[in-house]
Amino acid sequence: MNEILTQEKSIYIQIKEMIEDDILRDVLLEEERVPSTNELARLYAINPATAAKGVNLLVDEEILYKKRGIGMFVAAGAKARIANKRRERFYDDYIRSLMAEAASLGITKAELVRMIAEAPEDGEPG
């Protein structure tokens, strides 16, 4: 949790996504305690209510759960739920628009597949 908050999107969404990222990267493991809203607020110099809003979204999505008097914990299956949600979002955010742009440029699906196959794995220009 050492990322820097930006102005690009709501702070509570960024807090939510940072916790999700830490779960995906195994920084936070299932059944492990996550930083409290007060700890998040101090770390990022934000209002605890803002941190709580991001954490509560993860509770609503069953990514985190509360142990009364102890804190918030990563739920069993959280990593898989996050990965599945992000795969679906990846398709909607990138693949659909990629296919539409390719079609407008006259690039066939076969050409697009070839381009992807030839692209470097790290995403850097060839």
Same domain assignment for residues 65 and 107: no
From residue 100, how far is each of 89, 92, 104, 118 by CA, in Å?
16, 12, 6, 20
With respect to residue 123, please indicate whether it lies within any of the assigned structural domains: no
Task: Establish how many alpha carbons lie within 13 A of residue 48's alpha carbon, considering only the half-sphere containing its beta carbon.
Answer: 6
Note if the pTM is more than 0.85.
no
Q: Identify the pLDDT of residue 124.
A: 66
- For the chain, the domain total comes to 2
With respect to residue 125, please indicate whether it lies within any of the assigned structural domains: no
Same domain assignment for residues 18 and 72: yes
Same domain assignment for residues 52 and 36: yes
Same domain assignment for residues 103 and 63: no
What domain range includes position 98?
79-118
Digit-by-digit pLDDT tens for the chain (126 residues) are 556 666 678 999 999 999 999 999 999 999 999 999 999 999 989 999 999 999 999 999 999 999 999 999 999 999 999 999 999 999 989 999 999 999 999 999 999 999 999 998 876 665
Residues near 33 by beta carbon (within 8 Å), at least 6 away in sequence: 70, 71, 72, 73
